[in-house]
């Protein structure tokens, strides 16, 4: 197998992956702030890193995957003014902040379970690491890169940039940051407007607060990830991931905090997943241009013509590279559903394939090599899926008698197809083939197929299409082939 190459946002190029400790990988991914239902953009980001986690494990690495829960409300505005999101929700619903946290943490876990995510190795909470955050601030102050004013502590970006490079991840120059900084309420305490809060003194109305050497207050948003990643992965670890929107200021601030506190660059490889759009436009609740994850399972959305299984949605997401913008549309989902069903149907008929003395029609060992080549090229899931459909075509040719497979190659196909589909891509087989159904259900569908065939023979295409589409709406897809029409059924 060839070496694994990963696109590093810090260097702006693909680099050969070499873990700090042989055989071990430390990976940190920024988790959700649990004040509302997890949105689809979050799901896509976490799915990308679930795939990365799965593939690294498949390659034999022992992976410590840390994904945090932000349950200490940070301010709505990254410039350290505004209202605490969790406290705001608690006030609106007249409940305790930790009730808000618990409700939406449960929702987060349920949503990810629906999409067949592997749990991280560690899922630390910000409120459980206030002590570590305070100690990190002490180190930054001691090293001369932070200052305290009226009970709040700020990171001195200008002082840091005298010897370091603030902006190296996002490729922003400090001069541009100074020029573009807006004047906002609450910045009067800062030496420089681009400085960011490490600790904020809590106003009288602020619910979530903790004692510190400077005041009763709460940590800045950027601080928690620095403290928790250092605690569980060390001062320097292999991979840090998150959404593209976190590159600046969040991840930039993480780098600055780490270098200011212990003098080391915290991460070797920075990975960022790209954004989601819906029907070519940015998702936004204010415009109604959004879909919640559970909408796919119910079909209760003006953007969807029917409900979709979680595996179909996962398959759709992984058909795009994690660094590419992905646009959701009902048409695209329907197309992905057909492709997903074809893939599962090929897996379903594997046990019934006839073995031959030799393989004719495909080089199976080369196919396996090409699948690994795709994944080793920055986790290129769309190329891997294209390779899977080459095999689907070969499997169907074997079934039709136009290609042949040896016993050894069929064993290889069985092993590697399932590894790539289920272990690495994380799909589930949410379909049942017609071979798995007997009795009245199968007889009923076969009767409808016969009626459709008769309609086609009579050139009544309106009726034949109606039968096909009505069956599809209830989760039964017809598959026309040389040997007739078969069907697959969604496993709801």
485 in the same domain as 339: no
134 in the same domain as 178: yes
384 in the same domain as 399: yes
245 in the same domain as 115: yes
Angle among Cα 350, 352, 356 to the nearest 5 degrees reads 90
User: What are 230's two structure tokens?
Assistant: 């250092």
296 in the same domain as 266: no
Q: Is the residue at 8 inside a domain?
A: no
Residue 482: per-residue pLDDT? 67
Q: Is the residue at 343 inside a domain?
A: yes
Q: Is the residue at 1 inside a domain?
A: no
367 in the same domain as 398: yes
User: What are 90's two structure tokens?
Assistant: 């608690």
**What is the C-alpha to C-alpha distance for residues 313 and 333, in angstroms, rounded to an integer?**
7
- Helix ranges, 234-380 (H): 252-262, 293-298, 310-318, 330-349, 364-376
User: What are 459's two structure tokens?
Assistant: 């050139």
116 in the same domain as 148: yes
Q: Is the residue at 208 inside a domain?
A: yes
What whole-number percentage of the chain has pLDDT above 90?
A: 70
Residue 76: per-residue pLDDT? 47
443 in the same domain as 332: no
What pTM value is reported for the model? 0.87
Residue 182: per-residue pLDDT? 43
Task: Quote the domain boundaries for residue 50.
Answer: 18-273
Summarize pLDDT for 375-396 with one digit per residue, the tens: 999 999 999 999 999 999 999 9
End-to-end CA distance of the chain: 38
267 in the same domain as 370: no
Q: Is the residue at 10 inside a domain?
A: no
Cβ-count burial of 41 within 10 angstroms (0-12 exposed, 13-18 middle, 19+ buried)? buried
Q: Is the residue at 3 inside a domain?
A: no
451 in the same domain as 398: no
**What is the C-alpha to C-alpha distance for residues 350 and 366, in angstroms, rounded to an integer?**
19
From 405, 429, 453, the end of a domain falls on: 429
Overall number of domains in the chain: 3
Q: Is the residue at 7 inside a domain?
A: no
**What is the C-alpha to C-alpha distance for residues 166 and 260, in angstroms, rounded to an integer?**
11
295 in the same domain as 231: no
CATH number of the CATH domain containing 168? 3.40.50.620
Per-residue pLDDT tens listing for the chain (492 residues):
579 999 999 999 999 999 999 999 999 999 999 988 888 888 999 999 999 999 999 999 999 999 999 998 665 444 455 567 888 888 888 888 899 999 999 999 999 999 999 999 999 999 999 999 999 999 999 999 999 999 999 999 999 999 999 999 999 988 776 645 444 444 568 999 899 999 999 988 888 899 999 999 999 989 999 999 999 999 999 999 999 999 999 999 999 999 999 999 999 999 999 999 988 887 766 677 778 899 999 898 889 999 999 999 999 999 999 999 999 999 999 999 999 999 999 999 999 999 999 999 999 999 999 999 999 999 999 999 999 999 999 999 999 999 999 999 999 999 999 999 999 999 999 876 555 556 677 788 888 988 998 888 898 988 988 998 888 877 788 878 766 787 777 665
Q: Report the candidate in 458, 44, 21 with the shortest Cα–Cα distance to residue 273.
A: 44
Residue 430: per-residue pLDDT? 82
CATH number of the CATH domain containing 367? 1.10.730
Q: Is the residue at 30 inside a domain?
A: yes
**What is the C-alpha to C-alpha distance for residues 201 and 152, in angstroms, rounded to an integer?**
5
**Helix 310-318 × helix 40-58 angle, to 10°:** 80
From 210, 239, 273, the end of a domain falls on: 273
Provide Rg for the chain, Cα atoms. 26
Residue 437: per-residue pLDDT? 57
Residue 154: per-residue pLDDT? 96
From 255, 273, 291, the end of a domain falls on: 273
Residue 488: per-residue pLDDT? 75
334 in the same domain as 236: no
Residue 434: per-residue pLDDT? 53
Residue 443: per-residue pLDDT? 81
């Amino acid at each position: 197998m060839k070496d694994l190459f990963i696109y590093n946002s810090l260097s702006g190029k693909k680099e050969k992956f070499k873990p700090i400790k042989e055989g071990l990988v430390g990976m940190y991914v920024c988790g959700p702030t649990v004040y509302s239902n997890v949105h689809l953009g979050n799901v896509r980001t976490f799915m990308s890193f679930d795939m990365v986690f799965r593939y690294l494990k498949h390659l034999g690495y022992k992976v410590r995957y840390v994904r945090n829960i932000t349950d200490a409300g940070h301010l709505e505005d990254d410039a350290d003014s505004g209202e605490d999101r969790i406290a705001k929700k608690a006030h609106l619903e007249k409940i305790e902040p930790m009730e808000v946290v618990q409700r939406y943490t449960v929702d987060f876990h349920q949503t990810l379970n629906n999409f067949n995510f592997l749990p991280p190795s560690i899922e630390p909470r910000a409120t459980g690491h206030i002590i570590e955050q305070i100690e990190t601030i002490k180190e930054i102050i001691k090293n001369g890169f932070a200052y305290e004013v009226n009970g709040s502590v700020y990171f001195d970006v200008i002082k840091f940039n005298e010897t370091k490079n603030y902006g190296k991840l996002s490729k922003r120059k400090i001069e541009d940051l100074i020029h573009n900084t807006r004047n906002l309420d609450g910045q009067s305490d800062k030496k420089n407007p681009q400085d960011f809060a490490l600790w904020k003194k809590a106003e009288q109305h602020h619910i979530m607060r903790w004692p510190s050497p400077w005041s009763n207050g709460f940590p800045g948003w950027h601080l928690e990830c620095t403290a928790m990643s250092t605690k569980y992965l060390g001062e320097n670890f292999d991979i840090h991931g998150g959404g593209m929107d976190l590159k600046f200021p969040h991840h930039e601030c993480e780098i600055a905090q780490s270098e200011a506190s212990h003098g080391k660059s915290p991460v070797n490889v920075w990975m960022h997943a790209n954004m989601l759009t819906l029907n070519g436009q940015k998702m936004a609740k204010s415009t109604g241009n959004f879909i919640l994850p559970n909408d796919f399972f119910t079909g209760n959305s003006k953007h969807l013509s029917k409900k979709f299984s979680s595996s179909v949605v996962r398959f759709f997401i992984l058909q795009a590279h994690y660094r590419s913008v992905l646009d959701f549309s009902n048409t695209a989902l329907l197309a992905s559903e057909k492709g997903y069903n074809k893939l599962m149907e090929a897996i379903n008929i594997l046990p019934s394939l006839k073995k031959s003395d030799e393989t004719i029609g495909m080089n199976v060992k080369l196919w396996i090599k090409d699948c690994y080549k795709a994944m080793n090229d920055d986790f290129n899931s769309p190329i891997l899926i294209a390779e899977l459909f080459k095999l689907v075509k070969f499997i169907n040719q074997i079934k039709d008698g136009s290609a042949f497979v040896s016993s050894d190659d069929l064993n290889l196909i069985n092993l590697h197809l399932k590894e790539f589909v289920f272990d690495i891509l994380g799909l589930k087989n949410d379909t049942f083939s017609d071979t798995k159904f007997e009795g009245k259900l199968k007889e009923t569908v076969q009767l409808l197929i016969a009626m459709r065939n008769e309609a086609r023979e009579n050139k009544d295409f309106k009726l034949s299409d109606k039968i096909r589409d009505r069956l599809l709406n209830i989760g039964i897809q017809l598959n026309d082939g040389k040997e007739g029409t078969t069907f697959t059924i969604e496993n709801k």
